[in-house]
Amino acid sequence: MDDKTTLEALIQAKLDGGDVELPVFDEVALRIDREVRENKLDADLLCAILEEDIALVAELLRLANSALFAARSPVGSLKEAAVRLGVRQIASIVFSVSQKRLYSASGGLFKGRLTRLWKHTSAVSLGSRWLANNSGYRGLSDEAFVAGLLHDIGKLSLLCIIESMMEKENLDITEEEINTTLVKMNAKHGVALLELWNMPDSFKDILLELGSEDVDPDNKVLCIVRLVEAACMAEGLGDMPSQGQVDLYSMPEVAALSLSEADVEELCTVLREAVGGTAKAA
């Protein structure tokens, strides 16, 4: 690429000029998320909304019966899933399935990168749910799950933009340039997408604070996602080359969540064991 023009500048010019196609989130998933946040969703309304998207229903039931969300016996219908798992957990599964669709946008050039990114995103979201459930913050588990799904949403869109530029404009862009640009633009671009999708400010705040040197100990969801992402990196579940080993046990998030070394070790064990399951879920 031309040394005088950075990849970030090229992308920003296209964004400012409206010359890119931004990902459109599934309307059914957004409606369900909105109804959940407004405490209007019950099992009957959930089923009525989901019946508009048969493919989504099939994926939801498959995931609901997987080892990641499994009940003691198979879930055979939407109503049964809603009653047994609860509408909030079903809503988060719908969110996950809808996110997965966005990660299938590659025409081929970046298919491998988007697959790695989805695997990482899935691991962070599932790990965040597990940590919330097992660290005294069960009431935040669904929020932590969705925050994990959204934490790298900017990278998804940026990769699609870069892929389109490389294919249509025959640009020669190095892996290093791509990685640097993703790190620099992920948070800001991700927030812009969440605003486009009318997502709550709490998720935007998490995107902006994920890379901060300081951590707000009172924002437990942020602490959960930051710690789980670091643990994923330590366990080889990152989407890009590692920036160096992090001492998980000394992270301020561990103290903020009142975790012991044994808790952190168990989190890492869960992530290692979930690699195969996460790949299947992805």
- Which pair of structure tokens corresponds to residue 76? 């055979």
Contact between 197 and 27 (Cβ < 8 Å): no
Q: Which residues of 229-260 are buried (b: 16+ CB within 10 A; e: fewer)?
A: bbbbbbbebbbbeeeeeeebeebebbebbebe
Question: What pLDDT shows up at residue 78?
Answer: 83
CB 281 within 8 A of CB 93: no
Q: In the chain, what are the domains?
A: 1-23+106-282 (1.10.3210.10), 25-104 (no CATH)
pLDDT tens-digit profile of 233-271? Answer: 998 888 887 766 788 999 999 999 999 999 999 999 999
DSSP 183-219: HHHHHHHHHHHHHHTT--HHHHHHHHHTT-SS--TT-
Which range, of 52-56, 65-69, 261-265, averages the lowest pLDDT? 65-69
State the pTM of this model: 0.85
Per-residue pLDDT tens over the stretch 85-139: 788 888 888 888 888 888 876 667 888 899 999 999 999 999 999 999 999 999 9
